[in-house]
Chain A
Amino acid sequence: MNELAELVPYLGKHKPRAARAVVILIALVAPLIAILFGRTWVRVLDFALLYMMLALGLNLVVGFAGLLDLGYIAFYAVGAYTWAFLASPHFAEAFPAFAAGIGAADGIHLPFWLVLPVGAALAALAGIILGFPVLRLRGDYLAIVTLGFGEIVRIFMNNLNYPINITNGPQGINLLDSMNLFGWDLARSIKLAGFKIDSLFFYYYFFLLCVVGSILFIQRLQISRVGRAWAAMRDDELAAKAIGINIRNMKLLAFSLGATFGGVAGGLFGAFQGFVSPESFSLMESIAVLVMVVFGGMGNIAGAVVGALILTALPEILRHIALPLQQALFGQVVLDPEVLRMLLYSLAMILMMLLRPKGLIPAHARYSRPEFVAAGEARA
């Protein structure tokens, strides 16, 4: 939060409390402004928040612990498919006899407070499964294995419809339950005193709550013993061993904790979208999240948040400008929006490497207790 507040021009430096208020205000009114341009934009903001969670989680692995992970989206997939399996009619369609037998003729519909933790736990488990074989790998080799892991998970999702139909294959799973907070269905718009409050708003504030919770947790984590151990490991693995850090456990913890965020975000995605298919979890998505982290500034919470926001919103803005523009100029669409998105990401990376090699918001070198850092800076 503080890191974000520092970004506010002028106020960030001189009036930190006011700056913090500005950040909170922006976060609260953003969808109200977005709706002026159409529902699509509120939807974009919802997705931006999901990507923020992903970027925050990946930042733990890549930024804090220094482990390059190119298959991160697999954990998102695990979370989303857990939701799809435990909160949709799919179970009844895939195993009608069995489902009827256990009294679940219309599928399994577990509440969110059960499904989200299960999804997070399964994702954490997947993180450990990925972590074990790559303990000794670093750099390029680590990247290749994690990339392979991401693809394996996607291919599993694509093919696990036979002999037992678990994932419904390439068609994906449909009609997922929406987020239901103890009887309050977030997907239903509410009419209040003549105003219709769109369900997208509810999702926005719910996701915002999740993101803020994640940020607070990660902030504590960063200055904890674990956070310091990761920073040491990232700087110099041998030296980290020499000061008594258990490298194996710390790496596994990084992978599993990072994966947990992916799993939760995946569950939220499933509930929000109401539909999951393997297509959503391609290698390109892994890369997109990584680009958000790197673009924002590796090892930095504010960087992950801003990176995710910009790189989710910009392609959408571009899409709305570029499509009509292409129609007008060439009479047809020459560049597909998805191609444009990747083009923009590459361009963002190139510009960043040239202009701000440490990312939009470079991480502080220090990670000790904040009061300690402040004291150090005052004396320096």
Chain B
Amino acid sequence: MIDAEPAASAAPEISSIIALGDDETLTPIDPRDIPVTRIGYAIMMVPLIIGTMVLEIAQLTIAGIFIVPALILSVYLIFIFPPRQYRRWGYHMGSDRIRIVRGYLFYSDTVVPFGRVQHIDVSQGPVERRYGIATLTLHTAGNHNSSVPLPSLAHEDALALRETIRAHIKRDTL
């Protein structure tokens, strides 16, 4: 399933979208990121909700002092945050480098030249696999940014990107 050689045209189309005051247009990540992130946060919040419910039922403290903030946080993380986070992700494949942009409050804009990539991971968690998306991780030799993740790409796109980048590593050395 991994070793399929995708055609070059299978590479994701650089179409739009996020204008960040720079000359390049960034490709958004796959919208299936939103449900996957939601499920991730939902799973994360389960222990917290159970814990606060136990406290609530035991009536040790003022009613609602823990469960109300926990519920608010859950609603925010599950319903409001994922689409916002999704909109802040973007990448741009250049001819010799990849640029990965993310975050709003904590914004970061990383450029990794293909010639500096050590090895490449394409990984999928169970939820990601169900939705058909994958995370592409580039490893560099630098201490900072020793691994640069690009989450939520369509699985075929992640594989195509990997092939493209790997082909550059080959070509650059010749």
Do these two chains really belong together in a complex?
Answer: no
